[in-house]
Amino acid sequence: MSTIGFDTSNYTTSTAWTDGKTDINVRQILYVKDGERGIRQSDGVFQHMKLMPVMYEKLSEQIDFKDVKAVGVSTRPRCVEGSYMPVFLAGEGYAKVVANTLGVPLYEFSHQDGHIMAGIYSSGSFELLENDFISVHLSGGTTEILKSRYNGFHFDNEIIGGSKDISAGQFIDRVGVKMGLHFPAGKALEQLALKTEKGEKLPIAVDGAYMNFSGVETKASRMAESEKCDKSALALGVLENVRDTLVKTINKAMTDTNTHRVLIVGGVASNGIIRNGLTKKLDGDVYFAKAEYSTDNAVGTAYLAHLAHKEA
Protein backbone atom coordinates (compact mmCIF):
# COMPACT_ATOMS: atom_id res chain seq x y z
CA MET A 1 0.00 0.00 0.00
CA SER A 2 1.20 3.52 -0.78
CA THR A 3 -0.17 7.03 -0.33
CA ILE A 4 0.29 10.48 -1.86
CA GLY A 5 0.56 13.77 0.04
CA PHE A 6 0.11 17.43 -0.96
CA ASP A 7 1.20 20.59 0.83
CA THR A 8 1.01 24.20 -0.42
CA SER A 9 2.56 26.31 2.31
CA ASN A 10 3.39 29.99 2.21
CA TYR A 11 6.69 29.36 0.42
CA THR A 12 6.78 25.83 -1.05
CA THR A 13 4.69 23.75 -3.47
CA SER A 14 5.16 20.05 -2.71
CA THR A 15 3.80 16.60 -3.35
CA ALA A 16 5.14 13.28 -2.08
CA TRP A 17 4.64 9.52 -2.14
CA THR A 18 5.39 6.91 0.51
CA ASP A 19 4.90 3.20 1.03
CA GLY A 20 5.59 3.62 4.74
CA LYS A 21 9.27 2.78 4.40
CA THR A 22 10.61 4.90 1.57
CA ASP A 23 9.45 8.14 -0.03
CA ILE A 24 9.67 10.36 -3.08
CA ASN A 25 9.55 14.10 -2.40
CA VAL A 26 8.97 16.64 -5.18
CA ARG A 27 8.85 20.33 -4.29
CA GLN A 28 9.74 23.84 -5.36
CA ILE A 29 10.16 27.05 -3.38
CA LEU A 30 7.95 29.94 -4.48
CA TYR A 31 9.54 32.97 -6.13
CA VAL A 32 10.08 36.05 -3.96
CA LYS A 33 11.34 39.31 -5.51
CA ASP A 34 14.76 40.58 -4.43
CA GLY A 35 14.48 42.85 -1.41
CA GLU A 36 11.08 41.51 -0.38
CA ARG A 37 10.59 39.89 3.06
CA GLY A 38 7.75 37.60 2.10
CA ILE A 39 4.95 36.94 -0.35
CA ARG A 40 1.29 37.95 -0.49
CA GLN A 41 -1.23 35.16 -0.05
CA SER A 42 -2.81 35.92 -3.43
CA ASP A 43 0.58 35.62 -5.14
CA GLY A 44 1.24 32.42 -3.25
CA VAL A 45 -2.03 30.85 -4.40
CA PHE A 46 -1.32 31.89 -8.00
CA GLN A 47 2.17 30.35 -7.95
CA HIS A 48 0.88 27.13 -6.34
CA MET A 49 -1.78 26.79 -9.05
CA LYS A 50 0.93 27.05 -11.71
CA LEU A 51 3.47 24.80 -10.00
CA MET A 52 1.34 21.95 -8.64
CA PRO A 53 0.60 20.31 -12.03
CA VAL A 54 4.34 20.38 -12.77
CA MET A 55 5.25 18.88 -9.37
CA TYR A 56 2.56 16.20 -9.67
CA GLU A 57 3.66 15.26 -13.18
CA LYS A 58 7.22 14.76 -11.91
CA LEU A 59 5.91 12.56 -9.09
CA SER A 60 3.66 10.62 -11.45
CA GLU A 61 6.64 9.58 -13.56
CA GLN A 62 8.13 7.77 -10.55
CA ILE A 63 5.25 5.88 -8.94
CA ASP A 64 2.79 3.05 -9.61
CA PHE A 65 -0.75 4.38 -9.18
CA LYS A 66 -2.20 0.87 -8.85
CA ASP A 67 -0.76 0.70 -5.34
CA VAL A 68 -1.99 4.16 -4.19
CA LYS A 69 -4.76 3.66 -1.64
CA ALA A 70 -5.20 7.13 -0.12
CA VAL A 71 -4.33 10.81 -0.48
CA GLY A 72 -3.38 13.24 2.31
CA VAL A 73 -3.34 17.03 2.19
CA SER A 74 -2.55 19.99 4.44
CA THR A 75 -5.61 22.24 4.61
CA ARG A 76 -4.67 24.69 7.38
CA PRO A 77 -1.65 25.88 9.37
CA ARG A 78 -2.61 24.26 12.70
CA CYS A 79 -5.20 21.80 13.87
CA VAL A 80 -7.23 24.33 15.83
CA GLU A 81 -10.52 26.08 15.16
CA GLY A 82 -10.15 29.17 12.97
CA SER A 83 -6.70 28.26 11.64
CA TYR A 84 -6.72 29.36 8.00
CA MET A 85 -4.46 30.56 5.19
CA PRO A 86 -5.61 30.88 1.56
CA VAL A 87 -2.48 29.19 0.15
CA PHE A 88 -3.66 25.81 1.43
CA LEU A 89 -6.75 25.99 -0.79
CA ALA A 90 -4.56 25.32 -3.83
CA GLY A 91 -3.29 22.02 -2.46
CA GLU A 92 -6.67 21.03 -1.05
CA GLY A 93 -8.41 21.49 -4.40
CA TYR A 94 -5.75 19.57 -6.31
CA ALA A 95 -5.75 16.75 -3.76
CA LYS A 96 -9.53 16.37 -4.01
CA VAL A 97 -9.32 16.00 -7.78
CA VAL A 98 -6.55 13.39 -7.51
CA ALA A 99 -8.37 11.42 -4.82
CA ASN A 100 -11.62 11.43 -6.83
CA THR A 101 -9.80 10.42 -10.01
CA LEU A 102 -8.05 7.52 -8.27
CA GLY A 103 -11.20 6.55 -6.36
CA VAL A 104 -9.43 6.61 -2.98
CA PRO A 105 -10.19 8.42 0.31
CA LEU A 106 -8.82 11.87 1.12
CA TYR A 107 -7.44 12.62 4.58
CA GLU A 108 -7.05 16.23 5.74
CA PHE A 109 -4.34 17.35 8.15
CA SER A 110 -2.66 20.55 9.26
CA HIS A 111 0.66 21.86 7.97
CA GLN A 112 2.01 21.55 11.52
CA ASP A 113 0.91 17.89 11.65
CA GLY A 114 2.94 17.29 8.50
CA HIS A 115 6.06 18.90 9.94
CA ILE A 116 5.87 16.80 13.11
CA MET A 117 5.28 13.56 11.21
CA ALA A 118 8.10 14.31 8.77
CA GLY A 119 10.35 14.75 11.79
CA ILE A 120 9.32 11.46 13.36
CA TYR A 121 9.59 9.60 10.07
CA SER A 122 12.95 10.99 9.01
CA SER A 123 14.55 10.65 12.46
CA GLY A 124 13.18 7.12 12.94
CA SER A 125 11.75 8.15 16.34
CA PHE A 126 8.50 6.20 15.98
CA GLU A 127 8.35 5.66 19.75
CA LEU A 128 7.13 9.25 19.96
CA LEU A 129 3.81 8.07 18.51
CA GLU A 130 3.16 6.15 21.74
CA ASN A 131 3.64 8.83 24.42
CA ASP A 132 3.65 12.54 25.17
CA PHE A 133 6.62 14.46 23.83
CA ILE A 134 7.69 18.05 23.27
CA SER A 135 7.72 19.26 19.69
CA VAL A 136 9.35 22.52 18.68
CA HIS A 137 8.11 24.05 15.41
CA LEU A 138 10.65 26.53 14.03
CA SER A 139 9.75 28.03 10.67
CA GLY A 140 9.46 31.30 8.78
CA GLY A 141 6.16 32.09 10.45
CA THR A 142 6.08 29.91 13.57
CA THR A 143 8.11 29.49 16.73
CA GLU A 144 6.12 27.28 19.08
CA ILE A 145 7.00 24.85 21.86
CA LEU A 146 4.27 22.22 22.09
CA LYS A 147 3.33 19.30 24.28
CA SER A 148 2.25 16.77 21.67
CA ARG A 149 0.52 13.41 21.50
CA TYR A 150 -0.48 11.37 18.46
CA ASN A 151 -4.19 10.49 18.70
CA GLY A 152 -4.30 7.87 15.94
CA PHE A 153 -5.00 10.40 13.19
CA HIS A 154 -3.17 13.66 13.84
CA PHE A 155 -1.39 15.35 16.76
CA ASP A 156 -3.03 16.97 19.75
CA ASN A 157 -0.79 19.95 20.49
CA GLU A 158 -0.84 22.17 23.57
CA ILE A 159 1.19 25.38 23.29
CA ILE A 160 3.49 25.60 26.32
CA GLY A 161 6.03 28.10 24.99
CA GLY A 162 7.25 30.00 21.97
CA SER A 163 7.64 33.50 20.62
CA LYS A 164 5.32 36.24 21.82
CA ASP A 165 6.02 38.42 18.79
CA ILE A 166 7.90 37.59 15.59
CA SER A 167 9.18 34.10 14.86
CA ALA A 168 12.82 33.02 14.87
CA GLY A 169 12.54 32.64 11.09
CA GLN A 170 11.26 36.19 10.68
CA PHE A 171 14.13 37.49 12.82
CA ILE A 172 16.66 35.67 10.62
CA ASP A 173 15.01 36.65 7.34
CA ARG A 174 14.50 40.32 8.19
CA VAL A 175 18.11 40.84 9.24
CA GLY A 176 19.31 38.83 6.24
CA VAL A 177 17.34 40.96 3.80
CA LYS A 178 18.70 44.12 5.48
CA MET A 179 22.16 42.72 4.75
CA GLY A 180 21.26 42.32 1.08
CA LEU A 181 20.55 38.59 1.11
CA HIS A 182 17.72 37.00 -0.86
CA PHE A 183 14.59 35.89 0.99
CA PRO A 184 14.41 33.36 2.64
CA ALA A 185 17.82 34.23 4.05
CA GLY A 186 18.63 31.37 6.43
CA LYS A 187 21.08 29.42 4.25
CA ALA A 188 22.95 32.50 3.06
CA LEU A 189 23.14 33.88 6.60
CA GLU A 190 24.65 30.61 7.79
CA GLN A 191 27.27 30.72 5.03
CA LEU A 192 28.24 34.22 6.16
CA ALA A 193 28.37 33.14 9.80
CA LEU A 194 30.75 30.28 9.03
CA LYS A 195 33.36 32.80 7.87
CA THR A 196 34.06 33.97 11.42
CA GLU A 197 34.50 32.49 14.89
CA LYS A 198 33.24 35.48 16.88
CA GLY A 199 29.68 36.69 16.60
CA GLU A 200 28.12 39.96 17.71
CA LYS A 201 26.69 39.67 21.21
CA LEU A 202 22.96 40.34 21.00
CA PRO A 203 20.47 40.56 23.92
CA ILE A 204 18.23 37.61 24.77
CA ALA A 205 14.63 38.18 25.90
CA VAL A 206 13.16 35.13 27.70
CA ASP A 207 10.23 34.71 30.09
CA GLY A 208 9.98 31.09 31.20
CA ALA A 209 9.34 29.00 28.10
CA TYR A 210 8.36 32.10 26.08
CA MET A 211 10.62 34.44 24.13
CA ASN A 212 10.67 37.71 22.20
CA PHE A 213 12.63 38.49 19.05
CA SER A 214 11.26 41.87 17.92
CA GLY A 215 13.59 43.94 20.10
CA VAL A 216 16.76 42.14 19.07
CA GLU A 217 15.60 42.17 15.43
CA THR A 218 15.34 45.97 15.56
CA LYS A 219 18.83 46.23 17.05
CA ALA A 220 20.37 43.78 14.56
CA SER A 221 18.64 45.41 11.58
CA ARG A 222 20.07 48.82 12.55
CA MET A 223 23.52 47.26 12.80
CA ALA A 224 23.06 45.70 9.35
CA GLU A 225 22.43 49.13 7.82
CA SER A 226 25.70 50.56 9.15
CA GLU A 227 28.59 50.94 6.74
CA LYS A 228 30.87 49.58 9.47
CA CYS A 229 28.84 46.38 9.85
CA ASP A 230 30.87 43.17 9.99
CA LYS A 231 28.29 41.03 8.19
CA SER A 232 29.86 37.70 9.15
CA ALA A 233 29.99 38.62 12.85
CA LEU A 234 26.41 39.89 12.76
CA ALA A 235 25.20 36.77 10.95
CA LEU A 236 26.81 34.53 13.56
CA GLY A 237 25.45 36.70 16.34
CA VAL A 238 21.90 36.37 15.03
CA LEU A 239 22.11 32.58 14.79
CA GLU A 240 23.76 32.25 18.20
CA ASN A 241 21.04 34.46 19.67
CA VAL A 242 18.32 32.20 18.27
CA ARG A 243 20.21 29.11 19.45
CA ASP A 244 20.73 30.35 23.01
CA THR A 245 17.17 31.67 23.30
CA LEU A 246 15.79 28.30 22.24
CA VAL A 247 18.05 26.40 24.64
CA LYS A 248 16.74 28.39 27.61
CA THR A 249 13.07 28.15 26.68
CA ILE A 250 13.04 24.49 25.62
CA ASN A 251 14.92 23.40 28.74
CA LYS A 252 12.35 25.32 30.83
CA ALA A 253 9.49 23.60 28.98
CA MET A 254 11.03 20.19 29.65
CA THR A 255 11.39 20.97 33.35
CA ASP A 256 7.84 22.34 33.64
CA THR A 257 6.25 19.31 31.96
CA ASN A 258 8.68 16.64 33.17
CA THR A 259 8.88 15.57 29.53
CA HIS A 260 12.39 14.99 28.28
CA ARG A 261 11.98 13.83 24.71
CA VAL A 262 12.09 16.68 22.20
CA LEU A 263 11.41 16.67 18.47
CA ILE A 264 12.59 19.75 16.57
CA VAL A 265 11.10 20.47 13.14
CA GLY A 266 10.68 23.30 10.65
CA GLY A 267 12.96 25.13 8.25
CA VAL A 268 14.93 26.99 10.92
CA ALA A 269 15.84 23.61 12.43
CA SER A 270 17.84 22.80 9.28
CA ASN A 271 20.37 25.50 10.19
CA GLY A 272 23.58 23.76 11.24
CA ILE A 273 24.70 26.34 13.84
CA ILE A 274 21.34 26.27 15.61
CA ARG A 275 20.99 22.51 15.24
CA ASN A 276 24.43 21.69 16.66
CA GLY A 277 23.94 24.04 19.58
CA LEU A 278 20.59 22.53 20.53
CA THR A 279 22.01 19.01 20.30
CA LYS A 280 24.79 19.87 22.75
CA LYS A 281 22.90 22.07 25.21
CA LEU A 282 19.40 20.63 25.62
CA ASP A 283 18.82 18.52 28.74
CA GLY A 284 16.92 15.65 27.14
CA ASP A 285 16.69 13.20 24.26
CA VAL A 286 16.68 15.38 21.14
CA TYR A 287 15.39 14.27 17.73
CA PHE A 288 15.68 16.34 14.57
CA ALA A 289 13.98 15.99 11.23
CA LYS A 290 16.66 15.38 8.61
CA ALA A 291 17.64 18.65 6.98
CA GLU A 292 15.80 17.84 3.73
CA TYR A 293 12.61 17.12 5.72
CA SER A 294 12.88 20.16 7.99
CA THR A 295 11.78 22.69 5.41
CA ASP A 296 8.22 22.61 4.06
CA ASN A 297 7.34 19.34 2.31
CA ALA A 298 4.49 16.89 1.76
CA VAL A 299 6.26 13.77 3.06
CA GLY A 300 4.77 14.05 6.54
CA THR A 301 1.29 14.48 5.08
CA ALA A 302 1.73 11.42 2.88
CA TYR A 303 2.92 9.37 5.84
CA LEU A 304 0.02 10.55 8.05
CA ALA A 305 -2.37 9.42 5.32
CA HIS A 306 -0.58 6.07 5.25
CA LEU A 307 -1.08 5.60 9.00
CA ALA A 308 -4.68 6.85 8.89
CA HIS A 309 -5.63 4.47 6.10
CA LYS A 310 -4.05 1.50 7.88
CA GLU A 311 -6.27 2.25 10.88
CA ALA A 312 -9.43 2.85 8.81
CA distance 285 to 262: 6
Number of domains in the chain: 2
pLDDT tens across 12-53, in order?
Answer: 999 999 999 999 999 999 999 888 888 899 999 999 999 999
pLDDT tens across 103-142, in order?
Answer: 999 999 999 999 999 999 999 999 999 999 999 999 988 9
Q: Are residues 109 and 198 in the same domain?
A: no
Give the CATH number, domain containing residue 76: 3.30.420.40
pLDDT tens across 168-225, in order?
Answer: 999 999 999 999 999 999 999 999 999 999 999 999 999 999 999 999 999 999 999 9
Q: Are residues 303 and 277 in the same domain?
A: no
- Is position 150 within any domain? no
- Is position 141 within any domain? no
Contacts of 83 (CB under 8 A, 6+ apart): 76, 77, 110
- Is position 58 within any domain? yes
Q: Are residues 22 and 101 in the same domain?
A: yes
- Please tell me what DSSP assigns to residue 124: T
Q: Are residues 253 and 296 in the same domain?
A: no
**What is the residue range of 268's domain?**
160-291
Nearest to 183 by CA among 8, 24, 27, 30: 30
- Is position 151 within any domain? no
Beta strands across the sheet bearing 143-150: 205-207, 210-212, 155-163, 143-150, 133-138, 261-265, 285-288
Q: Are residues 283 and 177 in the same domain?
A: yes
- Is position 194 within any domain? yes
Q: Are residues 184 and 106 in the same domain?
A: no
